[in-house]
Amino acid sequence: MSSRYPTQSPSVYAKRRARLAQALKKQGGGVALVQSGHEVMRNRDADYAFRSDSYFYFLTGFPEPEACMALAVSPSGKSKSFLFCRPKHEEREIWDGFRFGPQAAQAQFGFDAAFSMDDFEEGLTEMLANQPSVFLRLGEDERLEAAVAEVLKTLRGKARMGVVAPHAVLDISHALDELRLIKDKTELSTMKKAATISAMAHQRAMLTSAPGKFEYEVEAELLYTFRKHGSEAPAYGSIVAGGANACVLHYRANDQRLKDGDLLLIDAGCELDCYASDITRTFPVNGQFSAAQQAVYEVVLEAQYAAIAATRPGARFNDPHDAAVKVLTQGLIDLKLLKMGLAEAIEQKAYTRFYMHRTSHWLGMDVHDCGSYRDPAAKPQDGVAPHTSRKLEPGMVLTIEPGLYIRPGRGVPKKFENIGIRIEDDAIVTAKGCDIYTHEAPKTVSDIHALMQSRNRVQQKRAA
């Protein structure tokens, strides 16, 4: 992940830190600490590729491991930012690659000062002296919490010298979640670029899939497209699920052969500069939906359109889900998979036999991004009733992903068995509604047929 240059202007991250400072001012100020994360061993002496902690990267843009940001906030809200990072080390750079080191990190990333991580405990002791509070993401980094505990112990031992240790250790998670929930222009631009790459990958998957290929061959086409266009990695483990595998919501084996007549469900998105995209498309392996497949598919697509129409500022987070459920349930009744009235089926949640997940989740630096789904004004005892779900605001980003998963069972006609369909797009809430920015991945029956017929023509020419 490490780069010799920041991917955005340092002012972008400075503005985010200033917003955090204002949030901490309301709690009396103090010092906030956010870690970059640590390199993790995969096996023996091979590491996993490092990916920075999302909160740290959001506030700093600094791409290296073993770093910590400190933000000192006065009671008036004025702040100074500090970075502790790995020192320059010529021998380690020969083996592992470039390091910024404190001097270059301060200059290029806009910190007020930067220090070697070797001096972390000493520097932290100085920073926390006479501060009212220290803010951490509690329960996230045992090493950081242990270091803070040791520093607090040291400071308490200096009480007779007039030094006061922070009187409170507070969780910063909620304040950071609220900052990240509404995306700024820089974030939205990056997410749109990631979506464009992912849409190209889904098109390539449609064009290269065929009966007889393995799911992992299609996955390879996705990964190739991600990397070819600059993405660092998939945003999550890609789901490439043919036939009955599509009825497994988090199918990850991707090792089965694709069969003529099956549908292929692909849930895959790339990550770009630590921002995720998340697209699901379902299409026929042979290029042509059967009558039963198309009937189910059109119910799911209509449900998605209904959920998109319900996604607008002032609506509740639950509203798109409720809109999708109504269409899906009526569709199941029309297909004779449910034998009761609409109101009864929704009240009894009979639809959950075929649709068992939610329609949306937040999207951002994490594919299931941070941020409360509950109205901030709701009280804990209010539970999770629809009226307590959060109101949507411009700048929020969420997925819209209804689906139907029809396993063999009592009352299921043979023609519907093992049909699994999900259609997922990414939506930015705008001033008037929402912007679906993953639309370049084909999803109407006619567009899918047209793309795959062009694939078939190419394959026929090659065979000739």
Annotated catalytic residues are: 45, 250, 267, 278, 357, 361, 368, 401, 405, 422, 424
CA distance 367 to 239: 14
- 133 and 28 Cβ atoms separated by less than 8 Å: yes
Length of the chain: 464
CA distance 199 to 219: 14
Cα separations (Å) of 51 from 21, 31, 273, 274, 283? Answer: 25, 25, 10, 8, 32
CA distance 7 to 193: 14
CA distance 134 to 151: 11
Tokens of 238: 């890609």
φ, ψ of residue 86 to 5 degrees: the values are: -65, 140
- 46 and 65 Cβ atoms separated by less than 8 Å: no
Strands 233-234 and 113-116: unpaired
Angle between helices 318-334 and 291-309 (to 10 degrees): 150
394-404 burial code (b ≥16 CB/10 A, e <16): ebbbbbbbbbb
DSSP conformation class of 29: -
